[in-house]
Amino acid sequence: MGPNRLTIPPPSEKQRAFFDARARYVAFGGARGGGKSWAVRVKALMLALEYPGIKIMVVRKTYPELRANHIRPMLALLPPGAVYSDREKEIRFDSGSLIMFRYCDTDADADRYQGTECDVLFIDEATQMSEEQFSRLKCCVRGANGFPKRTYLTCNPGGRGHAWVKRLFVDREFRADEDPGDYVFIRSLLADNAALLRDDPGYLKQLESLPQRLRRAWLDGDWSSLEGQFFSEFRDDPAHYGDGLFSHVVTPFDVPASWQVWRSFDFGYSRPFSCDWWTLAPDGCYYLIAQYYGASEPNVGLRLPPDRLFGSIRERENTDPVLRWRRIDGVADPSIWDRSRGEAIVECADRHGIHFAPGDNRRVPGWMKCRNLLAFDDGGRCRIRFFSCCADAIRTLQTLEFSKTNPEDLDSSGEDHFADSMRYFVMSRL
């Protein structure tokens, strides 16, 4: 790739794997200090030099981050014939290649790039972006030419985009319209970055001195340990699904007929609804055993009329082998008793034989009780667990962040519908 035009130190083994990857979507990272930003800068320049006329876009959350992490360091690597325009935030090459630097902090920012075309897209710190922003940005990768069409992402555990990055690249759980062959994850840790360890040996000690959860995320690249996650206690560890230790997610098991079952419900129309079924084991642990989550895509509801919604719930309870033939008491969002716009939603539920009591809607006390159930004791046991089939509950709990205005509450602009349903249930039991 034109080694006489771009002089770089030898890359690490993981950086070389990133350079060589040819998948449609390539994610690189897992822990801090893995050499991600350097790899992005070098790969972008390598592509610009190898493919005359190619269009490349580098995206990060804010422009100051772009300037500090990419623009300034990249200018030191530019070969002759490449010129940076601060006004346009672009590097133009005499070969016709182009590297554009763009920021994306909000959905509105992502919308502004709908008309932008590029051949290769780099999203740096992808976990700082929502899945909706990612979906819009990746549509920029198009064009009728012979250039490669790829999206490169760098990522660390945590942030608002943690769940979708983990789903695609770490857990490799794909939807029907996603091809597993399109996704590659290159896990890079601080130990893979010999240059940083040599030049800044104190950095390792800084990471080792962090609190346990933050250390696991930033040093070990543990995607189930998050700083900034509202439910930082939550841990999804497939290695412990069977033994039920130090994991909130378990393999589904047969629920004895003698165990009581409850239903909790958070209503949604344009936003998702969450109908959840719980049971209590003799050892005092609650289990989420089934879930009906109404979303067409993350945080977008199915827009089902209440009559269809409760008809579907009634059908599930009549046919599901775990739920049928059981008496099920319910608790729900108290807003469904509102009659200010006509018939209350709960009246429609009653007609279908789906009965609820109003949930206690106190938020902060409710979250505290949820945390108490999630907490592990010294033996690795807790008092609330989730069947692994309840994917939306597991996914959304990991996306929720603290409120910026109330440090004891969660940010309700996130996908909090299952969390609210869980809160109503927990408040009804404790």
Compute the Cα dihedral for 286, 406, 221, 102 and give only its sign. positive
- HSE, CB side, 13 Å, CA atoms: give it for residue 254: 3
- Over residues 295-309, mean pLDDT: 94
CA dist 330 and 276 (Å) reads 10
SS (H, E, C) the chain: CCCCCCCCCCCCHHHHHHHHCCCCEEEEEECCCCCHHHHHHHHHHHHHHHCCCCEEEEEECCHHHHHHHHHHHHHCCCCCCEEEECCCCEEEECCCCEEEEEECCCHHHHHCCCCCCECEEEECCHHHCCHHHHHHHHCCECCCCCCCCEEEEEECCCCCCHHHHHHHHHCCCCCCCCCHHHEEEEEECHHHCHHHHHHCCHHHHHHHCCCHHHHHHHCCCCCCCCCCECCCCCCCCHHHCCCCCCCCEECCCCCCCCCCEEEEEECCCCCCEEEEEEEECCCCCEEEEEEEEEEEECCEECCCCHHHHHHHHHHHHHHCCCCCCCCEEEEECHHHHCCCCCCCHHHHHHHCCCCCEECCCCHHHHHHHHHHHHCCCCCCCCCEEEECCCHHHHHHHCCCEECCCCCCCECCCCCCHHHHHHHHHHHHHC
pLDDT in tens, 370-389: 999 999 988 889 999 999 99
**Residue 430 and residue 369 in contact, taking contact as beta carbons nearer than 8 Å:** yes
CATH no., domain 13-218:
3.40.50.300
205 compared with 121, residue with greater pLDDT: 121
pLDDT in tens, 110-120: 999 988 999 99
For residue 317, the model assigns a pLDDT of: 96
The pLDDT value recorded for residue 2 is: 42
For helices 417-429 and 363-374, give the axis angle rounded to 10 degrees. Answer: 80
Q: What is the model's pLDDT at position 53? A: 97
Integer CA distances (angstroms), 410 to 77, 363, 403, in order = 43, 9, 5
Domain boundaries, the chain: 13-218, 238-429
419 vs 402: CA distance, rounded Å: 13
pLDDT at 426 over 80: yes
Q: In the predicted model, what is the mean pLDDT of residues 310-325?
A: 95
Measured between alpha carbons, how far is 119 from 60 in angstroms, rounded to an integer? 17
pLDDT band at residue 229, thresholds of 50, 70 and 90?
confident
Confidence band of 307 (pLDDT split at 50, 70, 90): very high
Q: Which of 274, 281, 270 shows the shortest CA–CA distance to 330?
A: 274
- Residues in contact with 134: Cβ distance below 8 Å, sequence separation at least 6, in sequence order: 123, 126, 161, 164
Q: What is the mean pLDDT of the segment spanning 279-301?
A: 95
Please check the confidence at residue 404 and state whether its pLDDT lies above 70: no
Q: Residue 231 has which token pair?
A: 């439910």
Percent of the chain at pLDDT exceeding 90: 65
Is residue 230 within 8 Å of residue 402, measured between CB atoms? yes
Q: Compute the distance between CA of residue 224 and CA of residue 83 in angstroms, rounded to an integer.
A: 43
User: What single letter denotes the amino acid at residue 23?
Assistant: A
Residue 13 token pair? 């083994």
Determine the average pLDDT of the residues in 273-298: 96
What architecture is the 238-429 domain classified under in CATH? Answer: 2-Layer Sandwich (3.30)
- Spatial CA neighbour of 270 closest among 291, 290, 297, 307: 297
**What is the reported pLDDT for 214?**
65
Share of the chain above pLDDT 70, in %: 94
